[in-house]
Amino acid sequence: MSNYRIVHEVPGRLRLRIPALGEPGCEAGALEDWMDAAAPVQEVRANRSARTLIIRYRGGDDARAALLRRLERFSSEPIPGYSEDGVREAEVAPMITTLFTLAMLPLLTPPLRVVLTFANVGSTLAKGADTLVHEGIKVEVLDALAVGLAAANGKLFTANVTDLLLDFGEFLERRTQRQSDRLLRRLLRPDPAMAWVERDGELVQISGDEVRLGETVVVGVGETVPVDGHVLDGLALVNQASVTGEDVPVRKEAPARVIAGSVLVEGRLRLEATRVGEDTTTARVSRFIQASLAEQAATQRVADELADKRVYLTLGTGAVVYALTRDLARLQSVFLVDYSCALKLGTPVAFKSGMARAAEHGVLMKGGEAIEALAEVDTLVFDKTGTLTHSDLLVTDVVVLPAGCECSETELLAMVASVEEHASHPVAQAVVEAARERDLAHISHGEVDYMVAHGLQAEVDGGRIVVGSRHYLEEHMAIGFEAHQARIDALEAEGKTLLFVGNAEGAVGLIALRDTLREEAPAALARLRALGIERLIMITGDRREKAEALAAELGLDAVHAEMAPEDKAGVIESLQQAGRKVAFVGDGVNDGPALSVANLGIAMPRGADIARATADVVLMDDRLLAVADARELAAKTMRLIQHNFHAAVGVNTGVLAGAVLGWLSPVASAVLHNGSTIGILVNALKGVSLDAEPDAPVRAQMRAQVRALEQVIEAD
């Protein structure tokens, strides 16, 4: 769309006039949704009558330019099956027609009043007849009977007012549903990373979702990879933790594959984009959200079934009332009592609000079934690595190898840290931090020669020291570690990452690192118990002694140590056979089977593709307390649904009783019924909150994390 004009502009706000706005193929709702999905947008409003679009956004000139480029890419071609403006007009038009009819009735002769009334309520009567023929007795049939009986009995004003109230109630119900859907999409939308692309011999920066298939993308230090692609040239150390769960950055060079969402720690890469458009992470997230909105939980199915059954209750009650009283007005009042709307609409709106509120707290719920299952869980099983522990590495062992060098462990650590301080990857940072905590003095050395993704070397005390991976030292520097294999195997068996040190004489030493226990783990587990979790269990491949010590420290109910990855699912199944409702929390590739077997799978934010694709709940904020947040929100959402259910039944039963006893006119019955339905929907849309809500800055940060995280929904 290129036909637009900027009417007014201040920093962070644009007002544009779009002549085509409101014409076929350029619906206001579609344009709002299109622009609302852009990363910098905070708010967007389209005024169909004034043909204007107002955009509030974050950022400066680059963000403004990106928004205008996105507006130009909006297609004015009609979208098959989509016309939100048409839907809105279709909902508003009957109310306008009815108001016109009510205004004209006093001015017309009696015969014309009847004709105009039946013309006005004809759509309601036709809908009721169509529903009866194709779907059986539903609420539309009751509405048609109530309106038709009033019109046939000569109560034209009552018939038209009742029809107006029914249309108004339906309009508010649909608007509430759309608002909950839009809120959810807005909270969960992923923001594409910016991309540097080679075009026409120049390097230009564009939004990641504008990259075309086959284009060359350049990624530098500290930048996020915007697309999936293959390395054309360059060498870099890439942190894939947010995508694959690997804590240690990996070396990438041609023709290796690089995944969107990875971050370059060191080096520079030129990539060929192999996933763009509908194949991107952004598009898959959009499809996932649509699928989540369409999923129907067991609670919702039960509510639908009960609502349908209560239609028969209303119909039967009306038949009995008329048989006893022969009062058509009383019959109309009974038929206007509808349990269906509040029961059928309140439940999905509450689920969507719960999903949206969870997203504000860094938790992605995959539909109402996930909320329902999480609220029912009584046993939580944690995979230790990456869940009870986090990815910050900690130096655990400094090993001086025999015949290596005549130095102590402290001297070896100080020497390696002095060289590693020139690197920025997590292993180097952990070593430097360990030396800093021990107050070790810096050791002078010569110029550091760094080989990206391999290691480094430098002159120290007249000799050359080499630090890096075993592959680098053995294959490139011919420094062998075979004689120390037993010690290496022992450290690796404990789940530790090793840094190898050598010199011209051979192998010098080993520095072992491992992940650390999350500081919030004890508090998170205690809160989960307070929220009704009866058993907390840990699964790990660590040695039994080590695992049992950690379990005792955290107060866990059971621990399964020295577990092979394929055995995790068996533990879950045994708990289920004992009658437990089990949730599994994990993040690795080998956690996929356990996540799928459990009643509910919860994936940590740095989990691998398959873990997040299999899980029902994905944590977007790397904190264990988010598991407790998810449990609390799920339980409160289910309580809200139960409260709304009982309120709907109670209020409508009271209205039905008033109608049966003749205390309520048809208009009063319609007003009370629609009022209770709207109240229940508003209460559902408002949703629930945690007992301890985060303050505004924290909430803003969480929302930013939600928007910025590119979730991989489908396994490659």
Of 605, 606, 577, 601, residue with least CA distance to 591 = 601
Q: How many helices (H) and strands (E) does the chain have?
A: 24, 24
661: exposed, middle or buried (Cβ count in 10 Å: 0-12, 13-18, 19+): exposed
Where do we find the tokens 């979730």?
A: 711
The end-to-end CA distance of the chain, in Å, is 34
Return d(Cα 442, Cα 436) in angstroms, integer.
Answer: 9
**Cα–Cα distance, 522 to 381 (Å, whole number):** 15
- Residues 6 or more apart whose CB falls under 8 angstroms from that of 656 comprise 314, 317, 334, 337
Distance CA 527, CA 532 (A): 9
Residues facing residue 205 across a β-bridge: 196
Can you give the length of the chain in residues? 716
Q: How far is Cα 375 from Cα 356, in angstroms, rounded to an integer?
A: 16
Q: Report the alpha-carbon distance of residue 36 to residue 613 in Å, rounded.
A: 26
Rounded to whole angstroms, the Cα distance separating 27 from 43 reads: 17
On whether the CB atoms of residues 220 and 264 are closer than 8 A, the answer is yes
Q: Which residues pair with 135 in a beta bridge?
A: none
Answer for the pair 568, 384: CB distance below 8 angstroms, yes or no: no
CA 296 – CA 308 distance, rounded (Å): 16
Q: How many CB atoms lie within 10 A of CB 156?
A: 22
d(CA 211, CA 224): 14
Tell me the catalytic residues: 383
* Amino acid (1-letter code) at residue 39: A
Q: Which DSSP string corresponds to 146-194?
A: HHHHHHHTT-HHHHHHHHHHHHHHHHHHHHHHHHHHHHHHHHHPPPPPE
How many angstroms separate the CA atoms of 598 and 413, rounded? 44
